[in-house]
Amino acid sequence: MFCCCIFLAVSLLHSLCHFHVSGYDPSCTEFPVFTPSALVVKYGDPANVTCVVCQKDCSGDASGLEHAMGKVTQNGTTMFWTVDRLTEWDIFVMCYYNTDAGDHCSSTVNITIYQPPESVSISFVNHTGMMFENQLYTLQCSVQNVAPVQSLTVTFYRGNTALGHLQSNSEQKKPVNETFTLNITPSREDDGAQYWCETKLELGPAGPQRPPVVTSEKLPAIVHWWFTDSSCTEFPVFTPSALIVKYGDPANATCDACQKDCSGDGFGLEHAVGKVTGHGTTMFWTVDRLTKWDTYLICYYNTDAGDQCSSTVNITIYQPPESVSISFVNHTGMMFEEQQYTLQCSVQNVAPVQNLTVTFYRGNTALGHLQSNSEEKKPVNETFTLNTNSSREDDGAQYWCEAKLELGPAGPQRPPVVTSEKLPAIVHYGPELIGPPNPDVITVTEGDTLHLNCSFVGNPSPSYTWTVPVNSSLSDNGGILTIKSIGFEHEGQYICTVSNTVGTVTKEFNIDVQASPLIWIIAGVSAAVLFVIILCVLCCRFYKQNRKGSYNLKDVLRFPKHTALPLQNCENV
Ligand SMILES: *[C@@H]1O[C@H](CO)[C@@H](O)[C@H](O)[C@H]1NC(C)=O
Ligand SMILES: *[C@@H]1O[C@H](CO)[C@@H](O)[C@H](O)[C@H]1NC(C)=O
Ligand SMILES: *[C@@H]1O[C@H](CO)[C@@H](O)[C@H](O)[C@H]1NC(C)=O
Ligand SMILES: *[C@@H]1O[C@H](CO)[C@@H](O)[C@H](O)[C@H]1NC(C)=O
Ligand SMILES: *[C@@H]1O[C@H](CO)[C@@H](O)[C@H](O)[C@H]1NC(C)=O
Ligand SMILES: *[C@@H]1O[C@H](CO)[C@@H](O)[C@H](O)[C@H]1NC(C)=O
Ligand SMILES: *[C@@H]1O[C@H](CO)[C@@H](O)[C@H](O)[C@H]1NC(C)=O
Ligand SMILES: *[C@@H]1O[C@H](CO)[C@@H](O)[C@H](O)[C@H]1NC(C)=O
Ligand SMILES: *[C@@H]1O[C@H](CO)[C@@H](O)[C@H](O)[C@H]1NC(C)=O
Ligand SMILES: *[C@@H]1O[C@H](CO)[C@@H](O)[C@H](O)[C@H]1NC(C)=O
Ligand SMILES: *[C@@H]1O[C@H](CO)[C@@H](O)[C@H](O)[C@H]1NC(C)=O
Ligand SMILES: *[C@@H]1O[C@H](CO)[C@@H](O)[C@H](O)[C@H]1NC(C)=O
């Protein structure tokens, strides 16, 4: 029934990937069977596996085999693969036969090649020497040349106490170097304990009965503590009690380890930088340029009872801001009134940022003080923001910010201050009336000059358009309308329309023209003079006629007979 072509392929994975896929051909009625079903072999060790290609329906002779390493012997449908030294990391073994229909029926055996770590070591990250109580340190376990790292478990220990288990995420099959870290916060009880790490290759049931374990050397924990040991009768005294030093400047301090009951030579000054010179229990520490941000100084003595009495001096290293600049967040150019804008003050390379106070100003007005929450000791860049509402009064004002390092009485006498450049505020707003409002009706006398003052402020500067009664001739000078000599034709409503890019408003003037009182005076006087002239003319006529014996006028004016107007007067008229 079958003309079987049977193969045992031993090859590098990449060269035979396609066979792996065809191994699950659904038309296969059975698959080759490996014994054992999985191989876990130490790199360089011998290995063997047996494959029964097929057990039923195997008509023909098993034929054909391929292998890249090791050798294969065959007995019927059973094949036996063996290798003296397994030194190929990507190896796999595949057994298959071809059916008449041309299908591949195959199986693979998983081969795990392992290599226990060549070495395992423990250390602190970025730290040498003693530790202080309640501070954070990082332990590091370095594992070299281990495979497969996926099966590795790393356990950190303090003495016999497991502190934590770690595993790798890597899927690398070949040997790798890998570092595992764990944060610890030692307490004084840990003083004298030993840190170490253990690696274990857990290779499952097919692996070696005792999983390979490699441990690191032991790292002694020297934990210092201070201030609290009740058995100390006195503590070392530092002068000065606190150091505030500009980065890169020199610094010095003196420590008196003990003044009474100082029996032995068990005292010292622990330091990260600088040098110490001593005279008995008095020690002098000095550094030319303080350029280590995480520095410390601890002075101690050991009592006969084995207690450690120590003091520390707090060292603050500061660096004034390298630069300070101000800007608007997400905004350039003009502002509009009654809107909220965000100012941003960027401070660069300042330390310690927790002692920095940033003040925003508009002109001379402080708008707000801000501080950082960061406890970073090294220089940082930090940005402070403040919201501000714009008003038209702010137009033309200048925003700026000031960064001040407040280091207290032990700090520099004048706290370092760095200010930003000035940022002009340009606030745009619609026309707004200046000056008192107008009366409803303005009464002007004919012939007078009319000034209408339509003065508004606004940003940008507003423009004016006048709507005037018909036929009025006018001169418009911005917000001022002038009519030299006003007449009745100028009477009516004047509308001044004021606008800028933000808004438009109008203002009305109602002009009432009244005749000049001088006209009435002139008219009155003229009338009076005319009356006198008429009277005189009539009078003279009457007199002349009276001399001629005519009495016509007497009838009209009914002058009494004896009344006589002086002749001379009449003649003068
Ligand atoms: C095959 O491997 C097994 C387990 O590794 C071993 O006990 C046995 O001796 C090996 N047989 C031969 C023939 O190498
Ligand atoms: C082949 O296998 C048969 C039965 O399993 C056995 O009797 C025979 O000795 C084997 N031949 C060799 C050369 O191992
Ligand atoms: C071989 O390994 C793969 C992945 O590691 C796994 O999914 C598969 O079940 C294994 N095969 C056998 C026969 O153990
Ligand atoms: C150790 O210190 C170096 C230099 O100060 C720094 O670059 C590195 O990030 C530090 N490593 C850790 C894990 O903190
Ligand atoms: C692991 O580290 C050792 C020593 O540093 C080095 O010789 C080796 O090549 C490294 N191995 C890998 C896989 O990087
Ligand atoms: C020690 O520091 C102080 C203040 O910083 C300084 O005035 C003094 O000169 C320094 N002394 C020595 C010996 O460097
Ligand atoms: C040193 O600083 C720590 C915390 O900042 C504080 O608790 C302690 O009192 C300071 N010590 C001295 C001597 O000022
Ligand atoms: C600035 O604008 C960007 C994009 O519009 C936005 O993602 C970001 O949150 C804005 N920042 C602030 C502080 O509003
Ligand atoms: C702060 O910003 C400046 C300029 O962008 C950069 O050179 C510097 O490295 C930054 N400093 C820190 C601590 O991030
Ligand atoms: C700005 O005005 C808005 C609305 O009137 C108000 O909610 C907000 O608190 C104001 N912001 C500031 C910084 O005054
Ligand atoms: C620095 O800032 C911290 C936190 O705000 C404060 O406790 C400390 O007193 C400041 N240092 C000085 C010298 O002012
Ligand atoms: C117009 O009125 C404003 C506000 O009262 C005043 O400041 C300005 O001088 C006046 N202009 C003229 C030309 O009178």
Has residue 365 been placed in a domain? yes
Domain boundary among 378, 393, 425: 425
Q: What is the pLDDT of residue 159?
A: 92
Please name which ligand lies nearest the alpha carbon of 275: 6
pLDDT above 60: residue 370? yes
The 10s digit of each residue's pLDDT in 279-297 is: 778 999 999 999 999 888 9
Cα Dmax for the chain: 191
Domain boundary among 425, 445, 464: 425
Residue 103 amino acid letter: D
Atom of ligand 10 nearest to the CA of 387: 13
87 lines ligand 7 (CB under 6 A): no
Has residue 229 been placed in a domain? no
CA 509–ligand 8 middle distance (angstroms) = 49
Verify that 129 and 216 share a domain, yes or no.
Answer: yes
**Residue 447 exposed, middle or buried by CB count within 10 Å (0-12, 13-18, 19+):** middle
Atom of ligand 3 nearest to the CA of 37: 13
Atom of ligand 4 nearest to the CA of 125: 13
Verify that 54 and 103 share a domain, yes or no.
Answer: yes
- The count of domains in the chain is 6
144 lines ligand 5 (CB under 6 A): yes
Domain boundary among 394, 410, 425: 425
Has residue 441 been placed in a domain? yes
> What's the pLDDT band for 20 if we cut at 50, 70, 90?
very low
The 10s digit of each residue's pLDDT in 2-15 is: 434 455 555 444 33
193: Cβ–Cβ under 8 A, 6 or more apart, which residues? 158, 159, 220, 221
* Least reliable range by pLDDT among 148-157, 200-209, 352-361: 200-209
Has residue 564 been placed in a domain? yes
Provide the residue range defining the domain that includes 94: 33-114
Verify that 131 and 185 share a domain, yes or no.
Answer: yes
294 lines ligand 4 (CB under 6 A): no
What's the CA gap between 433 and 199, in Å, rounded?
84
pLDDT above 80: residue 24? no
Q: Are 324 and 346 in contact (CB under 8 A)?
A: yes
Has residue 231 been placed in a domain? no
237 lines ligand 7 (CB under 6 A): no
pLDDT above 70: residue 535? yes
What are the φ/ψ torsions at residue 537 (nearest 5 degrees)? -55, -45
* Least reliable range by pLDDT among 109-118, 142-151, 228-237, 479-488: 228-237
Mean pLDDT of the chain: 84
What's the CA gap between 87 and 69, in Å, rounded?
9
Q: What is the pLDDT of residue 92?
A: 75
Please name which ligand lies nearest the alpha carbon of 318: 11
Verify that 504 and 470 share a domain, yes or no.
Answer: yes
Q: What percent of the chain has pLDDT over 90?
A: 43
> What's the pLDDT band for 62 if we cut at 50, 70, 90?
very low
Q: In Å, how far from its chain's centre is CA 423?
A: 20
* Between 115 and 433, the higher pLDDT residue: 115
242 lines ligand 11 (CB under 6 A): no
* Between 382 and 301, the higher pLDDT residue: 382
Has residue 328 been placed in a domain? yes
> What's the pLDDT band for 44 if we cut at 50, 70, 90?
very high
Has residue 230 been placed in a domain? no
Q: What is the pLDDT of residue 547?
A: 64
The 10s digit of each residue's pLDDT in 175-233 is: 999 999 999 998 878 888 899 999 999 999 889 989 999 999 999 887 776 544 566 77
* Between 299 and 334, the higher pLDDT residue: 299
Verify that 349 and 301 share a domain, yes or no.
Answer: no
Please name which ligand lies nearest the alpha carbon of 151: 3
What's the CA gap between 116 and 148, in Å, rounded?
9
Q: What is the pLDDT of residue 338?
A: 87
> What's the pLDDT band for 270 if we cut at 50, 70, 90?
confident
Considering only CA atoms, which of 234, 166, 244 is closest in space to residue 198? 166
Verify that 337 and 412 share a domain, yes or no.
Answer: yes
How does 52-75 read in b/e, with b if 16+ C-beta sit within 10 Å?
bbbeeebeeebeebebebbebebe
CA 339–ligand 10 middle distance (angstroms) = 8
pLDDT above 90: residue 420? yes
pLDDT above 80: residue 366? yes
> What's the pLDDT band for 359 if we cut at 50, 70, 90?
very high
Which domain CATH number covers 149?
Answer: 2.60.40.10
Residue 456 amino acid letter: F
What are the φ/ψ torsions at residue 308 (nearest 5 degrees)? -110, 125
Verify that 257 and 311 share a domain, yes or no.
Answer: yes
CA 170–ligand 12 middle distance (angstroms) = 82
* Between 478 and 209, the higher pLDDT residue: 209
Q: What is the pLDDT of residue 133?
A: 78
Q: What is the pLDDT of residue 300?
A: 86
The 10s digit of each residue's pLDDT in 507-534 is: 999 999 998 877 778 888 888 888 888 8
Verify that 45 and 94 share a domain, yes or no.
Answer: yes
Q: What is the residue with the minimal CA distance to atom 13 of ligand 11?
A: 407
Q: What is the residue with the minimal CA distance to atom 13 of ligand 9?
A: 380
Cβ neighbours, 10 Å, residue 496: 23
Q: In Å, how far from its chain's centre is CA 246?
A: 26
